[in-house]
Chains A and B, each alone.
Chain A
């Protein structure tokens, strides 16, 4: 966990990761310059798409910082949050929008305020149920299929949360 701690705190970890990615690009460019150019084009398109959302995410983190304190998080998503914590995590996951990378940052922040490991897992898993996309899923696969799939996704999000917390052997990640 020590190495995770270093990486999780940012610092050199992020720069090393960036350096590794840039070296990978360099090697790829030597092997296939056309592919590298396409990757850069995709990167610019992604950046263009994600940039406005990132602004929203930083705003969200700022608001969370203002509204949430360790006592509140402990109450709703902490080790003694009970059924309310599970429900809050499920609803949060389903309603969550934006890229998952942004949610890693938000959940990292919430974890530092006392959020349970199992509930972090539940939020990430229930993101699979996208409310705005349900009509498209129903269109392709039918209502019965969509309802059954959503039911199992929620059920397995809870099972996964319980297993993950047991495996990691701590109510809150210590990294």
Chain B
């Protein structure tokens, strides 16, 4: 599994360009969730990357989606999860987590706005 992870980590781009974001909220969240889902690094990396993207003007919605999906959705880990916990479990769980990352991003940011 580590072998496969290493290959995917090298193939995937190391940095997410902030130019892709800023079109509209839903697209930002979908992009953030998608990047987070395929990322396979330590959560610290997602916090740091999220913080930097935020500083560059990327929306909090997109950054939240990235952070949440980074740790809850595991596309790279999917084969191992399926192997040990079952294919249906792994697929359904990751699908749910992807949708939840979108929902949590909107809820978190809107709750924060409501609180002022």
Mark A residues whose CB is within 8 Å of B.
1, 3-4, 7-8, 13-14, 17-18, 21-22, 24-25, 28, 35-36, 38-40, 42-43, 46-47, 50, 100-101, 104-105, 107-108, 111, 117, 120-121, 124-125, 127-128, 130, 133, 136-137, 139-141, 144-145, 148-149, 152-153, 156, 159-160, 163-164, 167-168, 173, 175
Q: Which residues on the B side are within 8 Å of A50 (C-beta)?
A: 2
Mark B residues whose CB is within 8 Å of A.
1-7, 9-11, 43-44, 47-48, 50-51, 54, 60, 64, 67-68, 71-72, 74, 77, 79-89, 92-93, 96-97, 100, 103-104, 107-108, 111-112, 115
Q: Is the CB of B85 within 8 A of A160?
A: no
Q: Which residues on the A side are within 8 Å of B86 (C-beta)?
A: 1, 4, 8, 173, 175
Q: Is the CB of B71 within 8 A of A4?
A: no
Q: Is the CB of B11 within 8 A of A35?
A: yes
B interface majority secondary structure: helix
Residue from A14, A136, A163 within 8 A of B47 (CB atoms): A136
Q: Is the CB of A153 within 8 A of B104?
A: yes
The A-B contact count (CB < 8 A) is 149
Residue from A105, A117, A125, A149 within 8 A of B89 (CB atoms): A117
Residue from A25, A36, A148 within 8 A of B112 (CB atoms): A148
